[in-house]
Amino acid sequence: MNMWQLQKSLLEAMAECEEVLDEGIVVCIEPGIYLEGAGVRIENMYVVRADG
C-alpha cells in the first residue's frame, strides 16, 4: 500500500465514523509531503468547541 492508498483508506474510515468529539479535545492535523532527500509537514492544532 502506498501513501496515497493509505490516506484514501483512512479518509474513508473517518467518513464512516460516527464518534462525536468532546468539547475541549485538541486535534492535530499534520499534512505533509516527502520527496527524496527532503520533506515538509505543516502542523495545525484545533480545539473542539461547543459552537463548532
In sequence order, which residues have a C-beta less than 8 Å from that of residue 29 and are 6 or more positions away? 43, 44, 46
- pLDDT at position 1 is 67
CA distance 25 to 27: 6
User: Read out DSSP for the chain?
Assistant: --HHHHHHHHHHHHHH----PPTT-EEEE--EEEETTEEEE--EEEE--TT-
- pLDDT at position 11 is 81
CA distance 47 to 52: 9
The pTM of the full predicted model, rounded to 2 decimals, is 0.52
Model pLDDT for residues 1-52, shown as the tens digit of each residue: 677 777 778 788 888 888 888 999 998 888 888 889 899 999 999 999 999 7
- pLDDT at position 18 is 86
Domain limits of the chain?
A: 21-52
